[in-house]
Amino acid sequence: MTQSFASSPFFLRAIALLMAVGVLGGCSTSGGFKRLLDRGDESSTATSNVVPRGGVVAPDMASADDKAVATLYNGGLAELQSGAYSRAQKKFAEVERQHPYSKWATKSILMQAFAAYQRRSYDDAVNAAKRFTALHPGHKDAPYAYYLIALSEYERIADVRRDQRQTEKAVEALEEIARRYPDTAYAADAKEKAKLGYDRLAAKEMEIGRYYMGQGSYLAGINRFKKVVTDYQQTSHTPEALYRLAEAYMALGVVSEAQTAAAVLGHNFPNSEWYRDAYQLVGSDGRQPVASESSWITKAFRSFTG
């Protein structure tokens, strides 16, 4: 599987911020936390786009209710510090349940999602993050909530030999990040992860297409390779897909389409081994790879590049 969030630069920056505000800096609830202010409203551009604003509550507040919130919330942060993510999730859930109108209830929803993600309880993470975006769509941490949703879907991408509906869900969630928050660090990371997701989807189409070719079901194979060429053209599987199209069309006797596939392959991937094989495949009887302007293959690449 790909690199997890826990080992990514995003997580390391999150830890750095939490340490900066004392959450993971060894401060006890009765000591160092007293000197800390709520940093949940800071607007630091260096970190606000990549980590949840957990903040801390000074536990010596005036009212009993405030002290109760402080005890619960800081208890959740302490559990995060120790890696007890399940207990942390429960404590943040109690903040939300017992103090639903507190601003810390809002923060606690997102922290529940974060804790659930950390313990790989992805359904819980998605549910909490979606609840956050539904209740607080304009919140400054909404991008992070959407990012947690996308990460939770991404981490569950299955092996290419299995059904790829989860990959489709992950790609959809990652693209939503890029669409909603194009200028954030989340968008750049989501785009990279989406590329990997598309590569996985293309790999699945190729696997099925090769199976059909092996069974002599050339039209069924063509349909699979066509999807790679039209829908996943930026993936690493496109050169082979074009070769397989040339192979399938030659097997069916549709020489012009085979020549077109080979020609498009040579134009876009001239140094590919797949092109050398395609050239030999269609080069019998003195033929050359020549692209037909009316072919769907030519139009697919013209549409993509133009």
Q: For residue 45, what are its two tokens? A: 């551009």
- Cβ-proximal residues to 194 (8 Å cutoff; 6+ apart), any chain: 171, 174, 175, 178
Residue with the bigger pLDDT between 71 and 242: it is 242
- Interval 238-256: pLDDT, tens: 999 999 999 999 999 999 9
- Interval 207-241: pLDDT, tens: 999 999 999 999 999 999 999 999 999 899 999 99
pLDDT band at 65 (very low <50, low <70, confident <90, very high): low
pLDDT of 8 strictly over 50 = no
Please, what is the average pLDDT of the chain? 78
| Percent residues over pLDDT 70 in the chain | 75
| pLDDT attached to residue 149 | 93
Contact yes or no for 13/51 (Cβ under 8 A): yes
| pLDDT attached to residue 162 | 64
| pLDDT attached to residue 167 | 85
| pLDDT attached to residue 82 | 87
Q: Which domains does the chain have, with CATH numbers?
A: 5-156 (1.25.40.10), 201-305 (1.25.40.10)
| pLDDT attached to residue 104 | 86
pLDDT of 276 strictly over 50 = yes
Q: How far apart are CA 138 and CA 47, in angstroms?
A: 19
Mean pLDDT value across residues 109-126? 93
* 89-127 residues labelled b (16+ CB within 10 A) or e (exposed): bbbbbbbbeebeebebbbbbbbbbbbbbbbbebbebbbb
- Interval 162-173: pLDDT, tens: 667 888 889 999
The DSSP code sequence of the chain is -PPPGGGSHHHHHHHHHHHHTTTTTT--TTTGGGGPPP-TT---TTTTTTS-------S--SSHHHHHHHHHHHHHHHHHHHT-HHHHHHHHHHHHHH-TTSHHHHHHHHHHHHHHHHTT-HHHHHHHHHHHHHH-TT-TTHHHHHHHHHHHHHTTPPPTTS--HHHHHHHHHHHHHHHH-TTSHHHHHHHHHHHHHHHHHHHHHHHHHHHHHHTT-HHHHHHHHHHHHHHSTTSTTHHHHHHHHHHHHHHHT-HHHHHHHHHHHHHH-TT-HHHHHHHHHH-GGG------TTSHHHHHHHHHH-
pLDDT of 27 strictly over 90 = no
